[in-house]
A and B are shown apart, each in its own frame.
Chain A
Amino acid sequence: MNARDAAKVTLVVFLFITVQQTLMLEVRIGGVHPDIMILLPVAAGIVGGPGRGASMGFGSGLVADLFLPTPFGLSALVATLIGFAVGLATVALDRSSWWLPVVSAIFSSAVYVLVYALLGSILGEPQMLHVDLTRIVVLVAAVNAVLAVPAVRLVGWALPEASTEGMPTSTSTLGVH
């Protein structure tokens, strides 16, 4: 990744955290607000594969952690795992299909919220399991499903051309020895 690509990625992450910290905190349904930061590793996983998904998850997660009262690094850890998993799960699929970002966003959002709450409770914040997880999962997944396609386009613009990392890279000789 060259300096230009890095600047583009930084710009996209800045855009997402700005929207999250302004518009998304104003949208509250039953005391719950959307969390669009998880779209970044999901989109990066789809566009660039597991390695880039994990890297984007780590970076965007650390940025998100700056504004959260929960343990520092927790968002980074969960988002790293999600970005890698999405990249790995979609590596053999047609990444240009319209439904892939939507389905990935819904599934990943649900897994992210649950794993985040579980790990948070293990790390000394037991109250994280005593919130209305169903409501959070539904709202976060629904909003992210709507925003998934534009998020993939934005991340696709920022990241270098789609990678084939994680795919089978070579085969040994096919001939008779």
Chain B
Amino acid sequence: MAKPRRSRRPRTTLIILVVASITIITLDARGGLGRITSGVRSVATDAFSPIRSGVDDIVEPIGSFLAGSVHYGAVRQQNQKLQNEINSLKSQTQQAQQNEQQLKQLTALLHLPFVGNLTTVPAEVTDYNSSNFAATIDISVGRADGVQLNMPVVTGAGLVGQVVQVAHHSATVRLITDGASSVGVLYGSPSAFASANGQGAGKPLDVDLVPSGTPLTHGELFETSGLNGASFPASIPVGTVLEAKTGLTASEETVTLQPLADLTRLRYVSVILWGPSS
């Protein structure tokens, strides 16, 4: 009886590529490929920066036009009621308010009370979440500005995150709300140590290691611990207590923190030129 045979070539291709992928993942995770992948990623990001900003310049006006089309009816009604001069003044006022807001954010970055003598580099936030699976931002400074891996990033309000990828003129920052983020924090008096962990973009931080029965009040401040080997310098405000509950039999309190920095509307941030070995 005749038996149909399938070509083995595609299966061989699959096996080779799967093995290659697993090898790359393993080597990268163990640091064997770390420098190579980091370098290639850096080159790719640098190469794409001008393309991305060029396309953004084209796309933004189109997006504004489409948004205006959607609200055409409302805009028309408004135009009937308002004179052109008033519209113009309103627009100017809004622009002035935006500028004032930006100025406030930038001024706050120039006077960061919690960084002490540490050097900071101001940066503009250029993008949010390049992956659907991680809470990150892209910023406009990179190696050329002295930024290196693992450096802390802050706003005038408090901690934002940590640099996880660096290119020549840009960097990616993992936000403290990202599920892979963990920050050593101190709270109370006398100070006690805990760990604030991210739970995903837009969600509060979950705090571990707070013993059951610890008296915590709503709004109580948690700051970075700066303990030996910590990923962040000491005394950077992280968040305030949103909720603290103790289960009947639990040995730890369930504590959630509201990050002090507004991580959903970041325009400007500062990178602290500090590493764990500093």
Chain A residues at the B interface, C-beta cutoff of 8 Å: 18, 21-23, 25-26, 28, 31-33, 35, 49-51, 54-55, 57-58, 61-62, 66-74, 76-77, 80-81, 84, 87-88, 113, 116-117, 120, 123-128, 130-131, 136, 140, 165-174
Residues of A within 8 A of B22 (CB): 73, 77
Shortest CB-to-CB span from A171 to chain B, Å, is: 4
Residues of A within 8 A of B128 (CB): 28
Q: A124 to B179, Cβ gap below 8 A? A: no
Please tell me if B149 contacts chain A, counting CB pairs below 8 Å.
no
Within the assembled complex, what's the spacing in Å between the Cα atoms of A62 and B24? 10
Shortest CB-to-CB span from A158 to chain B, Å, is: 18
Within the assembled complex, what's the spacing in Å between the Cα atoms of A107 and B7? 26
Residues of A within 8 A of B253 (CB): none
Residues of B47-81 contacting chain A, CB below 8 A: 48, 51-52, 55-56, 59, 63
The 7 lowest CB-CB distance pairs between A and B, nearest first, are A127-B179, A73-B24, A51-B10, A77-B21, A22-B55, A168-B4, A73-B25
Whether A127 contacts B180 in the complex (CB less than 8 A), given A22-B59, A58-B20, comes out as: yes
Q: For B52, give its contact among A21, A66, A76 (CB under 8 Å).
A: A21
Number of A-B contacts (CB under 8 A): 163
> Which of B83-91, B150-158, B198-206 has 4 or more CB atoms under 8 Å from chain A?
B198-206
Whether A51 contacts B164 in the complex (CB less than 8 A), given A73-B24, A73-B28, comes out as: no
8 A-B pairs whose Cβ atoms sit less than 8 Å apart in the complex: A23-B55, A67-B44, A69-B131, A70-B131, A84-B13, A126-B179, A131-B132, A131-B179
